[in-house]
Copies of this chain bind each other. A is one copy, B any other.
Amino acid sequence: MLQENLQNLLTRAQASQQLALSFLFSSMEIVRPLRKLVHALQLERGSNSLLLVDPQNILYASRVDAYRKQFADDQMRFLQAVEVWQAQMEQHALPSSVYIKLAHFLETLNHLVNLREQIDTREIKTDQAIDDFSSIIASALAFVFELAEQALDADIARGMLALFNFMQAKELAGQERALGVVVLGSRARTQSAQLTAALKTRIDQQWQAFQLVRSFATDAQIAQLEQLKQQPYRAHLEQWRDRVSASTHNSAHNSLALAEGWFDLMTQRIDGFQALEDDLISYLQIICAKKMAADEAFGSASTTSNHLSGLDSQLKQQVDERVMRVRGVSRLLLEQLHEQAVQLGAVEAELMLAKQTLLDRRFIERAKALLMIKKHITEEQAHQFMRNQAMKSGLKMVDLAKQLLQQLV
């Protein structure tokens, strides 16, 4: 009975590994239209800002309209993809959190009707409109983050972390675009300190997100990231940022022309991010496909040695012996079983470090959300508060976040 049970468990483990890989592969089929949808929302948010600082401008109104049409097409494609995905997921028992995060994003899309009405009637403040769009996009990114947490091996975890942080960086750039438009286009004499802080935070966090992309991306992806820096618009970025920053202190020279210039520059920049974003998604699908194929080929191959060329000879021999004992079990699985035995686990250590990065982020986000509610402050203020507290106490941000949450529970 022991051998039978063992054999069954290994067969199941293999099937479940294939399922998990195909789940991630299929999920990228909704992340692709999702990222397009988010891109359209980011453009709509930016052009809303132009419209709201110059409410009578017909050109701006028609531009907003064009982005909404783009969004409608993208939403249709996205929802079709979700339908296909749901059918494919019939056989997978995914954690409910995956469904819930996606459901939550769909629910926030419902708010768009109302939000657009308020914009059309100019009933909403510019910064409120930006915040509302940002929170819809945040719930899309929360779904991608949830997918990252489902990663079952180090390569996939790293790929997901690179993708998520890149999407995050792009979104922060999108927020910077919308906020900058308000700063440069507004004719109010004094800009609010809150807006200044908001812009500063977006730039800071963009830099941090790109750093995280770097630490998880492949060399080829990092090279692609470097190429983005060679784009013509990049030469003017810092200059424009200085202009925006100066304008938060003195709005005497503000004009719609300036706001438009900023919008166009940032749009060039953000549009340029799209190719790498798509590549990061494709890369994940390629890893999944390779692992699935390797697994299947290995399971059915009569000789296994050529699949094991990457392993050192002692491990190879041990694995071969196991293959003879337990036929039909995948290479991935054998490596994992082997790893259990020797407990070296460089790969598992890497996965654990990736999971720690994800968990750290969750702690910081949770603590920030908690502060916002308890102290009735904005996200920037919560961020600033935590930064200051961390500096004062010499704690890392994540340890401070844990302390804050521990006081709560």
Copies of this chain per assembly:
2
Q: Tell me if B103 and A337 are in contact (CB < 8 A).
A: yes
Q: Tell me if A9 and B345 are in contact (CB < 8 A).
A: no
Interface 9-mer from A91-99, A195-203, A273-281, A302-310: A91-99
Known contacts A96-B16, A110-B2, A341-B104; A363/B369 CB under 8 A: no
Give the contacting residue for A345; candidates B96, B369, B402; CB below 8 A.
B369
| Contacts of A335-357 to chain B: CB distance below 8 A | 336-337, 340-346, 348-350, 352-353, 355-356
Q: CB-CB < 8 A to A19: which residues of B?
A: 93
Closest to A11 in B: B99
User: What CA separation (Å) do A343 and B370 show in the bound complex?
Assistant: 7
Q: CB-CB < 8 A to A16: which residues of B?
A: 93-96, 99
Known contacts A152-B95, A402-B356; A5/B349 CB under 8 A: no
Give the contacting residue for A352; candidates B10, B97, B344, B366; CB below 8 A.
B366
* Cβ-based interface call for A391 (8 A): no
Q: CB-CB < 8 A to A370: which residues of B?
A: 343-345, 349
Q: Tell me if A5 and B345 are in contact (CB < 8 A).
A: no
Give the contacting residue for A12; candidates B86, B344, B352; CB below 8 A.
B86
1/0 per position for A392-409, CB-CB distance to B under 8 A? 000000000010011011
Q: Tell me if B369 and A336 are in contact (CB < 8 A).
A: no
| Contacts of A357-389 to chain B: CB distance below 8 A | 359, 362-363, 366, 369-370, 372-373
Interface 9-mer from A38-46, A75-83, A115-123, A241-249: A75-83
Q: Tell me if A349 and B6 are in contact (CB < 8 A).
A: no
Q: CB-CB < 8 A to A99: which residues of B?
A: 9-10, 12-13, 16
Q: CB-CB < 8 A to A100: which residues of B?
A: 9, 13, 333, 336-337, 340
* Cβ-based interface call for A127 (8 A): no
Q: Tell me if A369 and B344 are in contact (CB < 8 A).
A: yes
Closest to A110 in B: B2
1/0 per position for A147-177, CB-CB distance to B under 8 A? 0000010000000000000000000000000
**Smallest Cβ distance from A355 to chain B, in angstroms?**
6
User: What CA separation (Å) do A366 and B342 show in the bound complex?
Assistant: 11
Q: Tell me if A106 and B6 are in contact (CB < 8 A).
A: yes
Q: Tell me if A353 and B406 are in contact (CB < 8 A).
A: yes
**Smallest Cβ distance from A114 to chain B, in angstroms?**
14
Interface centre among A93, A97, A344, A350 (most CB of B within 10 A): A93
Give the contacting residue for A402; candidates B82, B139, B353, B409; CB below 8 A.
B353
* Cβ-based interface call for A14 (8 A): yes
Q: Tell me if A344 and B362 are in contact (CB < 8 A).
A: no
Give the contacting residue for A342; candidates B14, B101, B350, B373; CB below 8 A.
B373
Q: CB-CB < 8 A to A142: which residues of B?
A: 340
Q: Which A residues fall within an 8 A CB radius of B? A: 1-2, 4-6, 8-10, 12-14, 16-17, 19-20, 75-76, 79-80, 82-83, 86, 89, 91-97, 99-104, 106-107, 109-110, 139, 142, 152, 333, 336-337, 340-346, 348-350, 352-353, 355-356, 359, 362-363, 366, 369-370, 372-373, 402, 405-406, 408-409
- With A12-B89, A13-B103, A344-B370 known, 13 other A-B pairs at CB within 8 A are A2-B106, A9-B106, A12-B86, A13-B96, A16-B99, A100-B333, A342-B373, A343-B372, A344-B373, A349-B370, A352-B363, A353-B406, A356-B359
